[in-house]
Amino acid sequence: MSNENLFHISSSPHIRDKRTISRIMLDVIIALLPALVVSTIIFGARALVITLVAVVAALITEHIISVLLMRKRTTIGDLSAIVTGILLAFNLPVAIDPILAALGSVFAIAVAKMAFGGLGFNFINPALAGRTFLMASYPAAMTGAIFAQKGYGGKLPENLSGMNLDAVLGANAIDGISQATPLVAIKKLQELQDFDLLDLQEAFAPLFLGNVGGTIGETSALALLVGGIYLIYKRVINPLVPFIYIFGVFLLYWIFGGDYSHFSGSAFTVPMFQILSGGIFLGAFFMITDMTTTPITLKGQAIFAAGCAIITFLIRKFGGYPEGCSYSILLMNLLTPLIDRYVKPKVYGTGGAK
């Protein structure tokens, strides 16, 4: 037999791919690294410690549940628990108690993921479920002080941060500062009708680079963008989905944004500020692209992303919370089976000819 491949007989599947779950998850972890590095620079080593705690807690929980309760081989090898841990930590403020970070991880893995059967069976994003759990249980710790290291370079203008940072930091006597996150600030200022567009424009650079208050992983749009482009290059995610989400929020803010003429330059300031701040980029590249909890078809994913954009906009604009990104994704997670049902692709060869 010289050419045994030619006569190889086997049952389906016939088309195989080298891509495995652990390979995809590894790519996601690599893509998350830039944001982790940037947050360590901005918030200090504590950001790294919190992330490590969350990851370790997620791994231990998954190992214990899969071995002791489900009585099968441990599933931590697929690396998905690491991704969940990192994503959860990215959604936490850096000042949070590490015990709470671990608790959130345990909840994310045990209740949101393993209780439903593990990877592939969970219907909501485990990391976001963990965040929501902490949010409902410890609201003070989740929205409390956000501090940065000494020598905190980036700064929101005084009007947005509520303090003269040059004066505060010039004294050089403090380890960190706490200030309102950009979204809290703009929500307050919009209620007071007291903000200057130039202030917002001045904030674009720090927002893009990440030198602002916020949770560990969400602040740097640039780092997340780098990770997202890596994922797109590796074909783990489809660029259309994050694009629809980010552009959708931008568009909604542009249309319903405010008092400016829609084609003047100032009409784009608020939408730009909104997409750069908060968790939009984190959600767009790492959460609404999750394979388990989003629709299967590209059409379904596009509907999913558009729905997320609408809900995010509604919560930010009219809701009580300054940020609506994570709740919008959780709500759309629940709608995923419905979307899948209506965008089911036609089986080739069935259905009448037109």
Partner 1 sequence: MIYKFMQELKRGVFTENPIFVLALGLCPTLGVSTSVENGIGMGIATTLVLICSNAMISIFKDLIPDRVRIPCFIVIIATFVSVVQLLIKAYFPEIDTYLGIFIPLIVVNCIIFARAEAFAAKNSVLPSITDGLVMGIGYTVALVVLSALREFLGANRLLGLSVIPGYSPMTIFVLAPGGFFTIALVLAIINSFKLRGKK
| Nearer Cβ to partner 1 (115/240) | 115
User: What mask, x for binding partner 1 by CB under 8 A, covers residues 280 to 319?
Assistant: ----------------------------------------
- HSE on the CB side for 288, CA within 13 Å? 36
For residue 323, the minimal CB distance to partner 1 (Å) is 19
Smallest Cα–Cα separation from 58: which of 105, 90, 127, 97? 105
Site residues for partner 1, window 87-116 (CB under 8 A)?
Answer: 103, 111, 115
145 near partner 1 (CB under 8 A): no
For residue 296, the minimal CB distance to partner 1 (Å) is 28
68 near partner 1 (CB under 8 A): no
For residue 134, the minimal CB distance to partner 1 (Å) is 9
**Stretch near partner 1 under the rule CB under 8 A, chosen from 70-78, 137-145, 218-226, 330-338:** 137-145
Smallest Cα–Cα separation from 109: which of 68, 80, 72? 80
Print the SS3 string covering the chain: CCCCCCCCCCCCCCCCCCCCHHHHHHHHHHHHHHHHHHHHHHHCHHHHHHHHHHHHHHHHHHHHHHHHHCCCCCCHHHCHHHHHHHHHHHCCECCCCHHHHHHHHHHHHHHHHHHHCCCCCCCCCHHHHHHHHHHHHCHHHHHCCCECCCCCCCCCCHHHHCCCHHHHHHCCCCCCCECCCHHHHHHHHHHHCCCCHHHHHHCHHHHHHCCCCCECCCCCHHHHHHHHHHHHHCCCCCCHHHHHHHHHHHHHHHHCCCCCCCCCHHHHHHHHHHHHCCCHHHHHHHCCCCCCCCCCCHHHHHHHHHHHHHHHHHHHHHCCCCCCHHHHHHHHHHHHHHHHHHCCCCCCCCCCCC
The answer to whether the beta carbons of residues 313 and 283 sit under 8 Å apart is: no
| Nearer Cβ to partner 1 (58/103) | 103
**Stretch near partner 1 under the rule CB under 8 A, chosen from 88-96, 129-137, 147-155, 265-273:** 129-137
136 near partner 1 (CB under 8 A): yes
| Nearer Cβ to partner 1 (137/164) | 137
Residue of the chain from 22, 137, 164, 178 that contacts partner 1 (CB under 8 A): 137
**Stretch near partner 1 under the rule CB under 8 A, chosen from 2-10, 83-91, 136-144, 235-243:** 136-144
For residue 136, the minimal CB distance to partner 1 (Å) is 4
For residue 329, the minimal CB distance to partner 1 (Å) is 17
Q: Under rule CB under 8 A, how many of the chain's residues touch partner 1?
A: 8
54 near partner 1 (CB under 8 A): no
| Nearer Cβ to partner 1 (115/198) | 115
User: What mask, x for binding partner 1 by CB under 8 A, covers residues 32 to 51?
Assistant: --------------------
133 near partner 1 (CB under 8 A): yes
The binding site for partner 1 (CB under 8 A) comprises 103, 111, 115, 133, 136-139
